Amino acid sequence: MTGPVEAALGAFAALGALSDPLAWLVVGAFVGGSLLELRAREPARYVLAAAWLLFALFWLTLVHHFAFEQRSLIEGVGSLAAVPLSAYVGLLLYRGRDSLFVLSRAVGVMGVVFMPFEALAVLRRPLIRTVTMQTEFLMALLGQDPTVLTWTEATGRIAAQYDWSGARARAFRDGAGYYDYRNTFFFLREGTDPITYTIQLACTGLGSMAIFAGLIAAVRAPLRRKLRAFTVSVPVIYALNLVRNVFIGLTFGQQRLQVLVPEVMALFGTSDPRMVSYFLADRVLAQSLSVLALVAVTWLVVRELPEVLTVVEDLLYVLTGSEYDLGAALDEGVDPDPEPAAVHADGGD
């Protein structure tokens, strides 16, 4: 008999199947609402408020994936928290908080940047190949020389160790179709089983770059300053992500963080002690440092494009319920929302 906990987990897992089609629906709603805002702000308000509710549902479909499949505490908690927060943003926008139109435009641009790579191999393949080659190059600079194979080649070398039934067989087939190109680092140490580290779309930094591309595109500011903000954010994130890949790949492949093994295995629910280095390197250290890096990059962007403070202030309001004037606190010379009231009224640029 299935208990309530098992039933809830099963329901969350079933919701995950809706994430991909729902993602496209969310992006379409945000883009459509943002375009409508250019002509008619009030109708756009209702479209974008509905888009935020769909966004809340989208995050709900990802909770099981991040928390139980990826075993990422940060992403799992973050996706769960995003459910009520997204719904609350929609409510605030519906009630008249016009500054949230900027955040809504930003989410639409983020989706337009990210989703084509997720859906189209013609875009995804060269990006992953490039990141793999650059990660390999950086490893070589450190005196390391791991073998880089396609997913099929790497898995084929250790196929005898796999149970080719059920979920693992499906995972192999899915991986072979989605990532059947040279993107897997193959580590083989004497006396131990091989370890593979595969560069996927999530390892390219595209998600974080899309966030800042959306923020920069959404605010109304001179193109010159937008280009400067882009320069201090997207290339920096890309470079830091390569460092992250090198750190995780070598730490995991060479088993350099095998500490507190029983405790970490229990915490992340794994039966393979070799995964301890991976979980500590990626799920604990890399993801924690990534949060700090994004905060630092945000500060760099704000120095070049203070208009982004409108979004930051809105996010702080959603989280705390208090209003903030970060422009005054940071002594910025540019008003983060320079549009006159008349422009707000008719939605013009």
- Domain of 299, in residue numbers: 117-346
Residue 312: half-sphere exposure toward Cβ, Cα within 13 Å: 21
pLDDT per position as a tens digit, 210-232: 999 999 999 999 999 999 999 99
pLDDT of residue 349: 34
The Cα 17–Cα 11 span in angstroms is 11
Residue 121 CB: number of other CB atoms within 10 A? 14
Question: Is the pLDDT assigned to residue 203 strictly greater than 60?
Answer: yes
Q: Are residues 53 and 127 in the same domain?
A: no
Number of folded domains in the chain?
Answer: 2
In a domain, 103, yes or no: no
Q: Are residues 149 and 254 in the same domain?
A: yes
Structure tokens at 300: 């760099």
Would residue 244 show up in a list of annotated catalytic residues for this protein?
yes
Q: Are residues 320 and 219 in the same domain?
A: yes
Helices (H), 95-233: 100-119, 121-141, 151-157, 166-178, 206-218, 223-231
pLDDT band at 179 (very low <50, low <70, confident <90, very high): low
- Quote the percentage of the chain above a pLDDT of 70: 82
Q: Are residues 142 and 235 in the same domain?
A: yes
One-letter identity of residue 120: L
Q: Give the end of a domain, one of 97, 128, 145.
A: 97
Would residue 39 show up in a list of annotated catalytic residues for this protein?
no
Query: Is the CB of residue 219 less than 8 Å from the CB of residue 34?
Result: no
Query: Is the CB of residue 216 less than 8 Å from the CB of residue 106?
Result: no
One-letter identity of residue 1: M
pLDDT band at 1 (very low <50, low <70, confident <90, very high): very low
Catalytic residue among 71, 124, 244, 283: 244
In a domain, 308, yes or no: yes
Q: Which of 23, 77, 33 is nearest to 54 (CA)?
A: 23
Question: Is the pLDDT assigned to residue 345 strictly greater than 80?
Answer: no
The Cα 305–Cα 202 span in angstroms is 27
Catalytic residue among 173, 203, 220, 283: 203
Q: How many residues does the chain have?
A: 349
